[in-house]
Amino acid sequence: MENITGIIDIYLFYSENNGYSVFKLEDGTSAVGNLPKLNEGDRVELTGEWVKHPRYGKQFKIESANISHPTTETGIIKYLSSGLIHGIGPVTAKRIVSHFGESTMDIFDKNIDLLLEIEGIGEKKLDAIKEGWESQKGVKNVMLFLQSNGISSTYSMKIYKAYGDAAPELIEKNPYRLISDIWGIGFKIADEIGKSLGFTGDDPLRIKAGIIHTLQQANKDGHVFLPKEELIRETSFMLQTDVGYSDITFDELEENEEIFIKNNNVYLNEYYKAEREIENSINRLLQINSTPPPKLEKVISTFKEKYSSEQINAIKTSFAEKMLIITGGPGTGKTTTLKGIIQLFQTFDKKIMLAAPTGRAAKRMAEVIGIEAKTIHRLLEFNPQDGSFNYNEDNPLETDLLIIDEVSMIDTLLMYSLIIAISLNTTLIFVGDVDQLPSVGAGNVLKDLISCGKIPKIELSTIFRQAKNSDIITNAHRINKGEMPALNFIQETDFVFLDESTNGKIPEKILHLCKEELPQKYGFNPVEDIQILSPIYKGEVGVTVLNKLFQNELNKSAKVFAQGEKIFKANDKVMQLRNNYEKNIFNGDIGFVVGSNIEDKVLFVSFEGKMVEYKFEDLDELTLAYAVTVHKSQGSEFPCIILPLTTSHYMMLQRNLLYTAITRATKLLILIGTKRALAMGVNNNKVKNRFTSLFKI
């Protein structure tokens, strides 16, 4: 092994996945190795050996590295210009070094307030520089430790932000804590780190983390719990070690209130508590008797000309019960029924609130009903500082009527937060279509609430004349009954099927539709009005391939962020991938990239006119959204939906997925693929059962 020192002059290559780096030092030396992303201008002390590459010649292969501050004015300018510190770009760096010379680094270390002497640096910018300087002082040695244990630079920065200088100590003690502490790090990455740190396959910390991880994966698949035998089997397979003997481990997890075991079913503690509290809150509401106001029948009699008998029944029941579920497919008059209920409550001067699980669903609800509707998080006033809701069991919402739309999307944890905040004085109405896909999160709440038989339910089944004129609606009902949709229309239709059996041709056909045919014929904006849905992420007609194609072909704007495979351009259509309560942006929200600030490493995205800032290291929360999965489209409607259907999707071709996708379109639906794939989806009604216990134990 040899030691060399030098200043990084230029990066030739850097991989975000594994940190593999190729850079040149100022003396011309080529150095290669797995490192965190350093900065041009860094003075480095490298340990390694000289090797001869067959193509690139003599290189220094790095085994380890230490970093020290540069000492020359040129090196300092390059170092400060690298983007290392928010608030300092090339121009500011030159001004600072011109003023302080080779003592610049001492100024940063010992008297940083003197930077106020530099033109363009005020108190606000100085605060940003101070924060950036403090965060980077210890970050590199920590990141070197993380990188040497197989952690990419993107995650290294997140870990450093969470743990600070204590990161090595905390991770060496328990690398599996990363799974719950750092979004994006799953069991696989944490386990690789654990192995590199010497954790054995049957280490109790590893087994506990494996059990929790298996339960969390089950939650992501929609399950509230797993039977213990299945949990042991899945965890043992994943860990490649037998956890069946680990009753002590299960006991410890239960004592620490991480899991709860009931009837030999294993829950993460919060899910067991959530289901039981949902039951308790609903039972309390159902015990309250509603007293109909005088003249109720007289008022309702005036509604009979405007509403069907089904709708009148729902309107009348809303005043007779404290809880009501209204279900029905598209075109059955759910919105009209809600308007009648609201009109009735307004007649008696009642306070009314409306809400839905997502921003898009709430916006649509407000547009069609004409009253403000909020997301459930906004309704309950989520507090990002401590992760709580301001409205809860101790501070319930005070309203006479609360209507919640798109209830099929609500998972167990969100329903828990909502239901405990309902006052006993409130009439609660749930509206949803139980035949759509269930929630992305754990649970099958709407189905379980209907199945329990305790809550009054009105099912609207009559398709109204105007809706019958829509082939989207009539075909959606056919599909829901297991019948093939009508495809051969004599006249103009809003339901189009394009036969294409070659998967590789489908993306180009969709592109032609979006760029030329649909804008010309219908005036659709290719990005804002048309939404491409796909059952899957991978494959020739999966979301990933379609997004890359459409970004390249539909958006000729300049790149504002590029890192490996991840590229964002100005005006890109993007989607949020997780609930971010601090930003008040939620999983599935769609926005548009406005621009970026390279110096501050920030991307700007507009969500329905609300501007949100993303630091570059947080951009794993965003993905392109020219195409999205059907699951991600729940609760949204678009003027035009294009859905590729091929037999390569067979694992995902289910009736409720097809039904959900079709009912997202308001003006035009285009299916492109094969009739065989369409038939597979229509005939497959084997919905995967979810392990839930709401009103079942």
Query: For residue 123, with 0-12 CB atoms within 10 Å meaning exposed, 13-18 middle and 19 or more buried, which class applies?
Result: exposed
Q: What percent of the chain has pLDDT over 90?
A: 57
Q: What is the pLDDT of residue 628?
A: 95
CA distance 691 to 685: 18
Q: Which two tokens stand for residue 504?
A: 């590789």
Predicted local confidence at residue 65, as pLDDT: 78
What's residue 566's pLDDT? Answer: 85
pLDDT at 94 over 90: yes
**Structure tokens given for 225:** 């719990």
pLDDT for position 534: 92
pLDDT, one tens digit per residue, over 555-588 is 999 888 887 678 999 999 999 988 787 888 888 8
pLDDT confidence of residue 430: 97
Angstrom distance (rounded) from CA 245 to CA 241: 10
Q: How far apart are CA 566 and CA 593, in angstroms?
A: 14
**How many C-beta atoms lie closer than 10 Å to residue 404's C-beta?**
24
Q: Which residue matches tokens 């037999």?
A: 647
In three state form, how does the secondary structure of 414-462 look?
A: HHHHHHCCECCCCEEEEEECCCCCCCCCCCCHHHHHHHCCCCCEEEECC
The per-residue DSSP string of 292-308 comes to: PPTTHHHHHHTTTTTS-
State the Cα–Cα distance between residues 641 and 669, nearest whole angstrom.
5
Segment 435-461 shows an average pLDDT of 93
455, 404 in Cβ contact below 8 A? no
Which pLDDT band, with edges at 50, 70 and 90, does 290 fall under?
Answer: confident
Q: Are strands 590-597 and 602-607 parallel, antiparallel or unpaired?
A: antiparallel
Task: For 63, list phi and psi in degrees, rounded to 5.
Answer: -100, -40
Average pLDDT over residues 519-538: 92
Would you say how long the chain is, in residues?
697
pLDDT (average), residues 404-414: 95
Taking the C-alpha atoms of residue 374 and residue 347, their distance in angstroms, rounded to an integer, is 23
Cα torsion through 50, 53, 59, 61, rounded to 10: -60
List, for residues 200-241, the tens digit of each pLDDT value.
988 999 999 999 999 999 999 999 999 999 999 999 999 999
pLDDT band at 390 (very low <50, low <70, confident <90, very high): very high
Beta pairing class for 323-328 and 373-375: unpaired
Kindly report which listed range (81-95, 278-292, 468-482) carries the lowest average pLDDT score. 81-95
Listed range (72-81, 149-158, 319-328, 440-449) with the worst mean pLDDT = 149-158
d(CA 590, CA 636): 10
With contact defined as beta carbons under 8 Å apart, do 513 and 525 qualify? no
DSSP per residue, 395-409:
S-B--SEEEE--GGG
Report how far residue 165's alpha carbon sits from residue 145's, in angstroms, rounded to the nearest whole number: 11
Average pLDDT over residues 653-661: 91
Its sign, for the CA torsion 484, 489, 494, 495, is positive
Question: Predicted confidence band at 306 (pLDDT cuts at 50, 70, 90)?
Answer: confident
Q: What are residue 44's DSSP bridge partners?
A: 6, 67
- Residues 196 and 122: their CA atoms lie apart, in Å, by 46
How many angstroms separate the CA atoms of 341 and 300, rounded?
A: 10
**Model pLDDT, residue 381:** 92
Check residue 10 and give left, alpha or beta (phi > 0: left; psi -120 to 50: alpha).
beta
195: helix, strand or coil: helix
How confident is the prediction for the chain on average, in pLDDT? 89
Q: What is the pLDDT of residue 465?
A: 60
Is residue 383 within a helix (H) or strand (E), and if so which, with residue range? strand 382-383
CA–CA distance, 77 with 94 (Å, rounded to integer):
6
Distance CA 510, CA 554 (A): 12
DSSP state of 558: P
Both structure tokens of 69: 């501050």
pTM for this entry: 0.77
Name, in order, each residue with C-beta under 8 angstroms of 5's C-beta and a sequence gap of 6 or more.
Answer: 43, 44, 45, 46
448, 478 contact by CB (below 8 A): no
pLDDT score of 401? 96
Would you state the pLDDT for residue 25? Answer: 93
* Angle at the Cα of 15 from the Cα atoms of 12 and 21, rounded to 5 degrees: 45
Question: Does pLDDT of 312 surpass 80?
Answer: yes
Q: Long-range contacts made by residues 580-584, C-beta under 8 angstroms, separation at least 24?
A: 580/621, 581/377, 581/382, 581/384, 581/387, 582/384, 583/612, 584/377, 584/378, 584/382, 584/384, 584/610
Give whichever of 21-35, 152-166, 459-473 has the largest mean pLDDT: 21-35
Q: What is the pLDDT of residues 171-194, one digit of tens each?
A: 999 999 998 888 878 898 899 889
CA nearest 542: which of 532, 553, 552, 529?
A: 532
Dihedral sign for Cα 688, 692, 694, 697, please: positive
| C-beta separation of 84 from 137 below 8 A | no
State the DSSP H helix or E strand holding residue 3, giving kind and residue range, or none if neither. strand 2-14
The pLDDT value given to residue 292? 77
Say if residue 682 is exposed, middle or buried (CB neighbours under 10 Å; 0-12, 13-18, 19+): buried
Whether pLDDT at 426 is above 90? yes
Q: Among the listed ranges 34-43, 268-277, 336-345, 477-486, which one has the minimum average pLDDT value?
A: 34-43
Q: Stretch 295-318: mean pLDDT, rounded?
A: 86
Q: Is the pLDDT of residue 371 over 90?
A: yes
Residue 100: the pLDDT is 94
What gap in Å lies between CA 576 and CA 592, rounded to an integer? Answer: 11
Beta bridge partners of 326: 431, 458
Percent of the chain with pLDDT over 70: 95
What's the burial of 424, exposed, middle or buried (CB within 10 Å: 0-12/13-18/19+)? exposed
pLDDT > 70? residue 98? yes
Residue 69 has pLDDT above 80, yes or no: no
User: Mean pLDDT throughout 607-632?
Assistant: 90
- The answer, yes or no, to whether residue 271 has pLDDT greater than 70, is yes
CA separation for the pair 561, 603 (Å, rounded): 8
Q: Check residue 218 and give its pLDDT.
A: 96
90 — pLDDT class (breaks 50, 70, 90): confident
Contacts of 297 (CB under 8 A, 6+ apart): none
User: Can you read off the two tokens belonging to residue 149?
Assistant: 């244990």
Pairing of strands 566-569, 573-576: unpaired
Least reliable range by pLDDT among 72-76, 145-149, 637-641: 145-149
DSSP one-letter code for 470: -
Q: Are 498 and 671 in contact, with CB atoms under 8 Å apart?
A: yes
> Could you tell me the two tokens for 82?
């690298």
